[in-house]
Amino acid sequence: SVFINALIVCVWKLPLTFSQQAAAVSIAHLAVLSAGAFLVAHGRKLSGPLSIFVALVASLNGWIICWGASDWFGALGAFTWLPWAWWAAEQALDPTRSRWRFLWPAPFVYLLIAGGFPYTVLMLALVLVCLALRAVFEVRTVETASPARTGPGGLARLTRIGPLLAGVTLGLGLAAPAWLALLDYVHGSARESLHPSAHWQWLVPWNAWPGLILPSWTVNWSNFSSRLVPHGATELACGLVPPIALLTGFLVNGRAILKKIRWETALLFVVFILAMSPTAGAFRWSFRWLPLLHLVLALCAAEALSSFSPKQRRFTAFLMLLLVIMLIIGVLVLRTSGDHLFPLGWIFLGLALGWLLVESLQRNFLCEWAPAAVVFAALLATYICIPPNSGVPKYNLAQSLLEPQPLDPHRLYLSVYPTPATFYRVEAKPGPVGQIVRLGSTSMWAGLRFVNGYSPIRPAGVAREFASAIHGEVDPDLAQWFLQHQAGENGLLERIGIDGIIVAREFNFTPQPAAEWELATEADEGRVFHRRGQPIPTVRSVNFSGKNSIAKITDIVAGRNYVSAFVVAPDGDRPALIAVSRPFFPGYRAQIDRRDLAVFSERSLIPLIDVPPGTHGRLTLYYRPDWLIYGSALAIISAAVCLIFAFFAIRNPRKRVTSV
């Protein structure tokens, strides 16, 4: 994503700590998210206060704050653009706008897909299907605010979604490198073969939905370990008003409200069911649908509030007060109060009473802004009273992780450490962690080379060979076997190029044979072992099978996506085998003096290249997979099409088409 990378580069230049940098990036995305939600609401002719109401719920709801902004930035980075894509899709479907309206969805579809969260792509697909069906089966006119149902449509009706399809297609083209890369990496990975229990983790329990009103509502949820544990409903927090406003709308004016927002209500119901249903394929944790549920719920509630009379608004405030009282009594009786019922319950009672008082005063300005004010105050109180990161642990990562010491940047390490979520969270280790073991992918901050690291996909080679988990922790029994049986000469670790072993303090095994390894560093966190002698070069000539000659390799140059070296293969009838200590992915290509060479792998772990005997010249290994070649071509073509049509749109801005 151009936006994410540009923002991260700018933030990284500021004198901030890791946590401050993360907060700055999240805050920037929350601001963009709220602006997009405001546009969606304002485009539906909602008032300014109600549009801000929607923006607050969309950007500050429990799931976005407790998971997206605090833990899973990828989710926030992608969902930020969903309201923008929604707004752009509605612009493309508006027949009163310019003929160039199909350009609107393209950049936002690109930004959403490139954000890197596949769940959001599913959300976008669901929203687009809903908008397309509405465009086909309903006609909006300039004079009437509500849609009028029409009979079954023919081919002419289908043409109404043409601009939307064109814009989405351009957006898919712009984002082609992102989604093609995802499809390529998932194939054969550990993520492709999830354990069946993973599909039942983090579903929204049917009895957790009262948390939409009272976030302290605590019932059993299935966590990351598939265990049912008591968990509060902070993810469901949406600021009190939305569910009650929608409920009031259906109670006092159900038929009119349903006619006005029937498509949004259908979308809300579908997302509601999906959030409680088990996942399938490479997807997991159905509660990830909640950001979309909050956005749709806020839009439906705002539409309901916009149609209320003063009397109905007072009834809404009264119903809120009544439901809060009933839920407080209910949690005490059912023992679902958790640890944070009070003072949150008292605050919510005060907010409900305050809103009822404001509605009783019948001051237009106060009444217009009351829902947004209650939402903001309720969400603020929720995050003050309830810890916002109850599901994911925190780690104390010091700025010293920017420095490689005491490790050697010229060596390739395998780090063996226990589960970070259990042994390195701040509750277990309050002090700084990771200077030795380099948890997850923190090694990248200092430019260190590690075999294992954080990966939600876990590519086939490393994940299968070392049984590594998402945060890079290797199975300890397998790690012990590797260190005792495969760490010596011609062992698998040497073949890969591993010449550094890090063993956390929690384990007492060491690499064998001891004559080949020396203790380089020992600290409270663990021990660092180096293979005796000089570091293994990134590019080397090997003879694993006894059938290859040994080439002379000099002048090694390692870049981000390539590595090169001058190679001289001996004359004779045996080729030289060149091993490169980099993770293998399909898509590596090799050339020596513009002559293509075949690239294969050692157990899908490192690239290997056969160099014909007598060959000499500069060997270059570079990563250029098919998804990058074809994806870049699609992106360039799509960008060119967008720029050409944007040029014509700027030159002819007033050309419009008539409503169908």
Q: Specify the pLDDT at position 198.
A: 86
Percent of the chain with pLDDT strictly greater than 70: 96
Which residue pairs, CB below 8 angstroms and at least 24 apart, start in 565-570?
A: 565/539, 565/618, 565/619, 566/616, 566/617, 566/618, 566/619, 567/541, 567/592, 567/611, 567/615, 567/616, 567/617, 567/618, 567/619, 568/616, 569/611, 569/612, 569/613, 569/614, 569/615, 569/616, 570/613, 570/614
Q: Phi-psi category of 345—alpha, beta or left, where left has phi over 0 and alpha has psi -120 to 50? A: alpha
Question: What single DSSP character describes residue 537?
Answer: P
Place of tokens 């990562």: 397
Q: Specify the pLDDT at position 466.
A: 86
Place of tokens 């009544």: 322
Q: What is the CATH number assigned to the segment(s) 539-624? A: 2.60.40
Q: Specify the pLDDT at position 660.
A: 39
Q: Specify the pLDDT at position 150.
A: 47
Is the model's pLDDT at 391 over the cut of 80?
no
Provide the whole-model pTM: 0.92
Q: Report residue 354's pLDDT band, with 50, 70 and 90 as the boundaries.
A: very high
**Average pLDDT for 116-138:** 94
Q: Specify the pLDDT at position 139.
A: 58
Q: Report residue 156's pLDDT band, with 50, 70 and 90 as the boundaries.
A: confident
Which residue pairs, CB below 8 angstroms and at least 24 apart, start in 44-47?
A: 44/299, 44/303, 45/145, 46/302, 46/303, 46/306, 47/306, 47/368
Between 290 and 194, whose confidence is greater? Answer: 290
Percent of the chain with pLDDT strictly greater than 90: 80
Between 601 and 377, whose confidence is greater? Answer: 377
Q: Specify the pLDDT at position 537.
A: 96
User: What's the mean per-residue pLDDT of the chain?
Assistant: 92
Contact 601, 607 (CB under 8 A): yes
Edge-to-edge order in the sheet of strand 562-568 = 552-558, 562-568, 616-623, 588-592, 595-597
Q: Note the pLDDT tens digit of each residue in 291-314.
A: 999 999 999 999 999 999 999 999
Is the model's pLDDT at 146 over the cut of 60?
no
Is the model's pLDDT at 477 over the cut of 80?
yes
Q: How far is residue 426's CA from residue 436's CA, in Å, rounded to a whole number?
A: 17
Is the model's pLDDT at 152 over the cut of 60?
no
**Average pLDDT for 553-578:** 94
**Average pLDDT for 524-540:** 96
Q: Note the pLDDT tens digit of each residue in 259-296.
A: 999 999 999 999 999 999 999 887 889 999 999 999 99
Q: Specify the pLDDT at position 142.
A: 40
Q: Note the pLDDT tens digit of each residue in 242-251.
A: 999 999 999 9
**Amino acid, single-letter form, for residue 110:** Y
Contact 37, 83 (CB under 8 A): yes
Q: Specify the pLDDT at position 130.
A: 97
Between 657 and 473, whose confidence is greater? Answer: 473
Q: Specify the pLDDT at position 549.
A: 94
Q: Specify the pLDDT at position 460.
A: 67
Q: Dihedral (C-alpha) 645, 647, 649, 652: value to the nearest 10 degrees? A: -130
Is the model's pLDDT at 104 over the cut of 70?
yes
Segments making up each domain of the chain, as ranges = 2-385, 404-531, 539-624
Q: Specify the pLDDT at position 658.
A: 45
Q: Report residue 646's pLDDT band, with 50, 70 and 90 as the boundaries.
A: very high
Question: What single DSSP character describes residue 436?
Answer: T
Q: How far is residue 432's CA from residue 401's CA, in Å, rounded to a whole number?
A: 10
Is the model's pLDDT at 463 over the cut of 80?
no
Edge-to-edge order in the sheet of strand 526-531 = 449-450, 412-416, 500-504, 526-531, 517-523
Is the model's pLDDT at 657 over the cut of 80?
no
**Average pLDDT for 559-575:** 93
Q: How far is residue 540's CA from residue 556's CA, in Å, rounded to a whole number?
A: 10
Q: Specify the pLDDT at position 255.
A: 92
Is the model's pLDDT at 213 over the cut of 70?
yes
Q: Report residue 82's pLDDT band, with 50, 70 and 90 as the boundaries.
A: very high
Lowest model confidence (mean pLDDT) among 20-24, 370-374, 464-468, 550-554:
464-468
